[in-house]
Amino acid sequence: MSAELRSNFLRTQIQGDLDAGLSGPVITRFPPEPNGYLHIGHAKSITVNFGLAEQFGGRCHLRFDDTNPEKESQEFIDSIQEDVRWLGYEWHGEVRYASAYFQQLFEWALHLIDEGLAYVCDLSPEEAREYRGTLTEAGRNSPYRDRSTSENVALFLKMREGEFSDGERVLRAKIDMASSNMNLRDPILYRIRHASHHQTGDEWPIYPTYDFAHGQEDAIEGITHSICTLEFEDHRPLYDWFIAHLPVPHRPRQIEFARLNTSFTITSKRKLKQLVDDQVVAGWDDPRMPTIAGLRRRGYPAPAIRHFCEEVGTSRSDGMVDMAMLESAVRDHLNRHAPRAMCVMRPLRLVLTDLPESMTLAVSNHPADPQFGERQLRMDRELFIDREDFREEANKHFKRLVLGKRVRLRGGLVIEGERCDKDSDGTIVCVYAKCITLVPGADPEDGVKPKGVIHWVSAEHSVPATIRQYDRLFSVADPARADDMMSALNPDSLVVSDDAMIEPALRDAAPEQVFQFEREGYFVADRYDHSAAHPVFNMTIGLRDSWSGSNG
């Protein structure tokens, strides 16, 4: 067990409950609302909830809190299940839904009415806001608060039968309109919504609110520890009130921890949906999105994301985590696990003027791990090198090909630049070089060693590919604070090139397979668009942090 897990305050509290005689297994749950794709913050919650259950030999439920059908869809349900499994977790039993408990919640609402603890209110939303008061001013009782039990039951049953229009009436708990906690000022339990539900169809014209349903769902499922983020701390007294006044079969314990906030990222589902709807990105799984599906499509490995979440740890204080920490975890993982390959992004033809014949080279797939084996590369008289790797003249700090200077071709020969051809605009179109060595990996006999190494591909045998070079979606560290989210977008977050040339074996890369393109970065075969006929690679991350020191 890692040091982070040993010092986890959540684990300490759960261990304390066990030491105090908690009977039965530890049962946690991950309860997303199916109104969008999961993001990096949810990844943290997943690792916490599933991780705690795993550490204590318990179980974790996956439950969809599906109480708002107008914003929910099967697409989101499917994507969430796929994300949880991709991260490496499996929930206990069947997938659970709040909608499966609608009848029980309805009966409990009737129980509160019978106990004089709930009433049907006719205030309009605008009037209800006025009556609610402010943080410094107590609210006022609704004029409908003192309806009789029989009238409330009759009206609520009519709500259930669909006799009223949307928003015409609500069911509210009768708690305390003067409470300093706004959540206790007669909160809404049920709203009228004539909306078809993805699980229950048109069975229900009324739907429980999240606050009413959430704690009772935990109680029904026997959840021992309801692990929530800090924004639910002020809701806990309300959840406790419901539990205390309802005949629930179990009493969960809620513990809050700080949610994960990362720099250069927005995790508001509403704002992420806006990016999708406005076609700023290509969808919820666009590789620039902070969604788990987006990170996956970009080539971020699940183990690296889990490691990042563990390294961040859990605390009771909100803060901002530098995105560079996640990127570092990705680099560390891929440096160990990604095979090497060569891709020339900006091809420039190179002719080896005195290469006697083509040769086949055996090149290591990983410089530090022989278990990755070797691959065969064809070195011909005509190659492609990167345009950025050649200059006619350069100072001593330029470690690549220069006329009259030497460089080594990766895994191959030492060459020396001789001359170059230019087109009518003065653009270099071809470079000529002579071979100083003819044995791969050998050093020149005259003792004058090359100053650098450049990558290459065979002009005859290489394959064109589409390369999508991704960067951070936002150019400021805290885009959520920007007056206009769109003004914080990074204009260079995506650059698409169809000019790149790759090793021929990369055509057969499996979708989601990641490679280190030597001297360029880490790239993944797109899980949907890549094919042997049309290779497509997404840039996962550069070899170094290009944002170091940036604070937006």
CB-side neighbour CA atoms (13 Å) of 52: 32
Note the pLDDT of residue 7: 56
Q: What are the chain's domains?
A: 3-259 (3.40.50.620), 269-339+465-541 (2.40.240.10), 343-454 (2.40.240.10)
Note the pLDDT of residue 2: 42
**Strand pairing partners for 119?**
172
The catalytic residues are 33, 259, 269
**E strands in 175-224:** 188-192, 206-208
Note the pLDDT of residue 451: 85
**Strand pairing partners for 411?**
none
Give the burial string for 493-532 (b: 16+ CB within 10 Å, else e): bbeeeeebbbbbebbebeebbbbbbbbbbbbbbbbeebee
Helix, coil or strand: residue 44: helix
For the chain of 552 residues, list the mean pLDDT of each consecutive stretch of 10: 57 92 91 97 96 95 97 97 98 98 98 98 97 96 98 98 97 98 98 97 97 96 95 95 96 94 94 96 97 98 97 87 95 98 98 95 94 95 97 93 96 95 96 95 90 95 97 94 92 96 97 97 98 98 77 49
Note the pLDDT of residue 548: 64
Only one residue has tokens 């014949």, namely 357
Contact predicate 502/476, CB 8 Å: no
- Give the pairing type, strands 347-352 and 428-435: parallel
Note the pLDDT of residue 550: 57
Note the pLDDT of residue 1: 38
Nearest to 86 by CA among 302, 306, 334: 302
Rounded CA gap, 527 and 104, in Å? 42
